[in-house]
Amino acid sequence: MPGKDHSEYQKSLISGYYANLDTIMLGKLSELVTELYLAETQKRKHQLWQRAEKAMLKLKIRPAIIRHIIERKDPKILAKNLQDWLSTGNKKR
């Protein structure tokens, strides 16, 4: 099946999404911190940590930081780093 051409409007939406991807991912991570604090089962926590790892990868967080956060699996550590990332904006993470 050949690739579908997008309308100019669709192209602008797609472009806008990728231009704001950092902001979107930081918002998702913020929601994940809350969900991790409230998660009751190990299965749910595992799913949430997987999502958090994917979000950090999309944000291009340094692998050593991601590894540390994922190994510890402590929402407080993720929340502290998230605060730092939100305060630095687009600066190097």
DSSP 8-class letter at 39:
-
In this structure, are residues 51 and 32 in contact, taking their beta carbons and an 8 Å threshold?
yes
End-to-end, the C-alpha distance of the chain in Å comes to: 40
Q: Mapping DSSP to helix (H, G, I), strand (E, B) and coil, where does residue 92 land?
A: coil
Question: What integer pLDDT is reported at residue 3 of this predicted model?
Answer: 59
Task: Assess whether pLDDT exceeds 90 at residue 1.
Answer: no
Task: Assess whether pLDDT exceeds 80 at residue 4.
Answer: no
Over the stretch 22-64, which tens digit does the pLDDT of each residue have? 999 999 999 999 999 999 999 999 999 999 999 999 999 999 9
The structure's pTM equals: 0.83
Contact residues for 14 (Cβ-Cβ < 8 A; gap 6+)? 6
